[in-house]
C-alpha cells in the first residue's frame, strides 16, 4: 500500500491560514487571499495545493460556490486541539501572573553594626521598586509584607549574606529566637538580629561566630518585623 506523503510546509501554511481566516471572519478566504498569505502569486499553484489538501481528506471544495472551501472534521480537530492548548497555556500564564505578590523594597538594613536608614521609612517607598514573588512561596497571611536589602555579614550562618534581600512580615512583638528587624530608639538605628527577651533587657544575637551578642534596654527596642524569607543575591 502506497504511503501518503506528509503535508508540505506550503500546504500546512495554507491550511492554517484557512482555519484562522474562518475563525476570524466566519467565511472562507478567496484563492487570491490564500496565495497572498503564503506568498504564492500563481492562482494555479494555489489550486494545485488545495486539491492536494482535498485528496488528503482535509478540505472540501465546491467549484460552483464563491469561496467554496470547507475544512473537514479531520482538519478542524487538528487546529481546535492546538487552539485549546494555546488557550490553556494563556490561562495558566494568567493564573501564574495573578498569583504574584508585589512586595515593596523599602530600604536597607544592617546585618552587622546598626546603621541609620535616613532615606526611607517602612511606610514610604518607590512604587516601582518592588520584589515580585509567587504567593505560593509565602505561607500564612499575605498582608503587611515588606522587603529590606541586607548590608553586612553578621547573619551569614543563618544563610543571610551581604546584598541578599529579606522579606519581612510587619509585627511589633517577637518570640525568642526569631530573626527580626529592630529599631534601636536611642541611636535611631536599625539592625537585623536574633531576638531574645531577658527581663528588662533584650539580647540581640548575630549568626556569625566572630561576633558577640549585645544587650539593649527593652524600652529602647522596637520590633519592626520578622524575617519570613530570604531572597538570594545572584551575581
Annotated catalytic residues are: 154, 193
How many whole angstroms separate alpha carbon 84 and alpha carbon 69?
23
**CA quadruple 82, 88, 94, 96: dihedral sign:** negative
- Joined together, the cell numbers standing for residue 213 give 551578642
How many whole angstroms separate alpha carbon 156 and alpha carbon 179?
12
Residue owning grid cell 561576633? 211
How many whole angstroms separate alpha carbon 62 and alpha carbon 214?
90
With beta carbons less than 8 A apart as the criterion, state whether 162 and 136 touch. Answer: no
Amino acid at each position: 500500500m502506497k504511503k501518503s506523503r506528509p503535508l508540505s510546509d506550503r500546504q500546512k501554511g495554507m491550511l492554517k491560514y484557512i482555519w484562522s481566516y474562518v475563525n476570524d471572519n466566519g467565511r472562507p478566504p478567496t484563492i487570491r487571499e490564500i496565495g497572498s498569505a503564503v506568498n504564492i502569486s500563481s492562482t494555479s499553484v494555489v489550486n494545485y495545493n488545495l486539491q492536494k489538501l482535498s485528496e488528503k481528506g482535509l478540505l472540501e471544495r465546491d467549484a460552483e460556490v464563491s469561496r467554496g472551501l470547507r475544512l473537514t472534521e479531520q482538519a478542524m480537530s487538528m487546529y481546535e486541539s492546538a487552539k485549546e492548548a494555546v488557550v490553556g497555556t494563556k490561562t495558566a500564564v494568567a493564573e501564574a501572573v495573578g498569583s504574584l505578590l508585589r512586595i515593596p523594597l523599602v530600604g536597607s538594613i544592617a546585618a552587622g553594626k546598626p546603621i541609620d536608614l535616613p532615606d526611607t521609612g517602612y511606610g514610604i517607598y518607590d512604587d516601582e521598586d518592588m520584589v515580585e514573588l509567587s504567593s505560593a512561596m509565602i505561607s500564612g497571611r499575605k498582608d503587611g509584607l515588606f522587603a529590606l536589602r541586607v548590608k553586612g555579614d553578621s547573619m551569614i550562618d543563618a544563610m543571610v549574606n551581604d546584598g541578599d534581600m529579606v522579606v519581612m512580615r510587619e509585627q511589633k512583638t517577637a518570640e525568642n529566637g526569631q530573626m527580626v528587624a529592630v529599631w534601636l530608639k536611642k541611636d535611631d538605628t536599625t539592625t537585623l538580629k536574633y531576638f531574645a527577651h531577658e527581663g528588662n533587657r533584650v539580647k540581640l544575637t548575630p549568626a556569625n561566630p566572630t561576633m558577640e551578642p549585645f544587650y539593649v534596654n527593652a524600652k529602647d527596642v522596637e520590633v519592626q518585623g520578622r524575617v519570613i524569607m530570604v531572597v538570594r543575591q545572584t551575581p
